[in-house]
A and B are shown apart, each in its own frame.
Chain A
Amino acid sequence: MTPTPRSYDVVVVGSGAGGGTVAQALAPLAQAGRRVLVLEQGPRFGNDEFTGRELEMAGALYHDGGGFLSADGTMTLAFAHGYGGSTIVYTGTSLSAPARVIERWAVPGLDHADVLHRSQRYLGENNVHRLPAEELNDNNRLFEAGARKAGYAVEQFPVNVKGCRGSSLCNLGCPNQAKQGTNRVQLPAAERGGVEVVTRAEVLRIAPDRSLTVRVSERPAGAKGLPSEWPPGEYRVAAKIVVCAAGALGTPPLLLRSPLPAPRSLGEGFTCHPALILVAEHGTPITNDVGHPKSFFVDRAAEERFVLETCMYFPFTTAKALNGFGPEHSALMRAFPRQQQILVLAIDRAADGNRVGIDRDGNPVVHYAYSPETVTGLVQGNRAAARIFFAAGAVRVHAPFAEPPTIEARDAGRLDALIDARHWKPGKQAISSAHLMGGCRMGTSTADSVTDAWGRVHGIPWLFVADASLFPDALEINPYVTIMALADRVAEAVLGDAPQFLG
């Protein structure tokens, strides 16, 4: 069947932190009569569809229901599809890129002051602020108190919520529309400005003649989300400028599937802050599954290559995060009202061989090996989290890098001996990641990168990238604000180049 033809001036692929930002920034083009289109693979969800039920929401929002695995099966990678992309499922923690990271990236033409300036604009736009003390739950308060007692510098996360009711369900999509993701702020603004957003629209490839092959899917019977704005079928969308903002596991595979003269480093330099969930048990119930789940963090990235964040996950996710099985595992699950949780993120580095590729059907494949430094970061983070738990009064801690994993309070003085890299066994500990970065790194030429400092793909001036795949290396913090700042730069470049391509 012949694809249905459509024609636009600018097509943006993806509607998350990158695509949503670009869409809003390009609204003036639409208002000036240009046709701007956003294509989003997932659906547009109704406000009443966010039920907070774990498997139901994970299946609706996340790629592979949240169970997408790295090629060797040792890490779970979480990313979402839908109007708003992964901003639907983040916790809204809003940090700007550290100066040390932007300096280490060493991208000519990209300086920290510019990233910070643009970040601040979005911090304001997204209502970023620190929650008042009375809205913090015990899970967070214990982390803060324990961290201070254990000698760590602890900071409160600014979060981008408005009218947060403390459902604790951020990672399953806020049931109260409180998180100010691109689905709540930038995309609606873009649509009001005349930008067209089409959901359930997967871009299969981009041709050298600047046409996109797009498959619009039917809404499956009984599935969440609205039908697509376009009738189901295959489309050939002609564009003058294309901006890829499909995320680190979307953009590199799309470009690899496309018959374009892509730079040879396409897909290389993948990093992801591999993470572990640590669980401790207190003697009495605490408030943990009510209130914003992520209010504090300890940043030891520069010194020890780990970051600790408060977290509180759902029953299945928690069960999966615990090592082993059987009575001990069950006992800890049944202590849910007494659980305190901490997320340990290792700060990895772009390394040879860690890359995003595609399989024979064009689907993303992530090749990732844990460097000794990354494993050390996880071990050090395990130890620090255990110290914080015990300092906060926990009676026992479940540490994935200990064997057996349960450590009683009486052994709190032996953490360095008990939690050790010798217990690391890929495929045994539940490593996961939600900070997917790299694959289209910025730089100066095809020899070292995929795009320039403004997201233009080397050698293909009409093609831009505007998502976390631009990161040349790990960001060391939660990435969405920096994605928005970089996407803002890309949109500026698009507007600047527009006369050349749009006439």
Chain B
Amino acid sequence: MLTSVRPVLRAIGVTVVPEATRLDEAGWAAIEDTVAAALASRPATLQRQVLLFLRVVEWLPLVRFGRRFTRLDPARRARVLKSLLDAPLLLVRRGMWGLRTLLLMGYYGRPEVRDEIGYRAHPGGWNARRRVS
């Protein structure tokens, strides 16, 4: 589902979560699997809207910067995404918010993220924590 938009999805991904630049191919595959699974459970119209929005993000900067999103430097990419999050039109803000949510789900839903951010919740609760402390 995401093959055709993979470059722009990853470019947005590293703008939203800069640490994603350190991911290997398996890491990106995990993110894309999560995003694809989340979209697959949603109506087909929503899936089409997300794919369309990704294409809009890719081509929109051509007007302002003369380059596609994937060809921009990190600072300009961030400016584009911020302008979308702050857009006067709710429809645009919703689109960007949804895209950001999907990418955060993909990145922060990975098991490895526990160690990366120091999240240590455990079903064993206090006993488990005391054992490792």
> Which residues of A are in contact with B by a Cβ distance under 8 Å?
50-55, 64-65, 67, 72-74, 135, 164-169, 175-176, 285, 287, 289-291, 314-316, 318-320, 324-327, 329-330, 333-334, 336-337, 425-428, 430
Contact = CB atoms under 8 A, between A and B. Distances in A.
Given A74-B94, A315-B113, A326-B15, A176 B104 contact: no
A51 to B, nearest CB: 7
Contacts, number: 120
Interface stretch (B3-11, B63-71, B115-123): B115-123
Given A73-B94, A326-B78, A290 B120 contact: yes
Interface string B80-110: 0110011000100110011011001101110
The main secondary structure of chain A at its interface with chain B is loop
Mostly, the B contact residues are helix
B36 to A, nearest CB: 13
A291 B92 CA distance: 40
Contact of A65 (B41, B78, B100): B41
B114 interface: yes
The 10 closest A-B pairs by CB, nearest first: A166-B125, A175-B123, A427-B93, A165-B125, A289-B121, A325-B16, A55-B109, A337-B118, A316-B108, A315-B108
Contacts of B117: 315, 333-334, 336
11 contacts: A72-B94, A74-B90, A165-B127, A176-B125, A316-B104, A319-B107, A325-B16, A326-B78, A427-B90, A428-B97, A430-B97
A428 B86 contact: yes
Nearest to B129: A290
Contacts of A72: 90, 94
Contacts of A334: 116-118
Contacts of A53: 111
Contact of B17 (A65, A176, A330): A330
Size class of the contact patch on chain B = 35 or more
Given A314-B119, A334-B118, A291 B125 contact: yes
B100 to A, nearest CB: 6
A326 B42 CA distance: 27
Contacts of A330: 17-19
Given A168-B125, A428-B85, A325 B90 contact: no
Contacts of B97: 73, 427-428, 430
B15 A325 contact: yes
B72 to A, nearest CB: 14
Given A166-B126, A167-B122, A428-B85, 10 more contacts: A50-B123, A53-B111, A67-B38, A73-B94, A168-B125, A175-B123, A287-B129, A315-B119, A336-B117, A337-B118
B47 interface: no
Interface string B9-25: 00000011111000000
Contacts of A427: 90, 93-94, 97
Contacts of B124: 165, 167
Contact of A290 (B94, B107, B116, B122): B122
Given A67-B38, A166-B126, A326 B16 contact: yes
Nearest to A361: B43
B63 to A, nearest CB: 22
A141 to B, nearest CB: 14
A64 B41 contact: yes
Given A55-B34, A330-B18, A427-B93, A167 B121 contact: yes
A413 B68 CA distance: 44
A260 B104 CA distance: 44
A67 B108 CA distance: 15
Contacts of B114: 315
A53 B123 CA distance: 10
A320 B125 CA distance: 24
Given A330-B17, A330-B18, A319 B122 contact: no
B38 A65 contact: yes
Nearest to A166: B125
Contacts of B85: 324-325, 428
Contact of A320 (B104, B116, B120, B126): B104
A167 B123 contact: yes
A31 B52 CA distance: 58
Given A428-B86, A428-B93, A316 B109 contact: yes
B98 A73 contact: yes
Contacts of B34: 55
Contacts of B116: 334
Contacts of A52: 121-123
A51 B122 CA distance: 9
Q: Which of A53, A291, A325, A333 has the most CB of B within 10 A?
A: A325
A73 B128 CA distance: 39
Contacts of B129: 287, 290
A64 B78 CA distance: 30
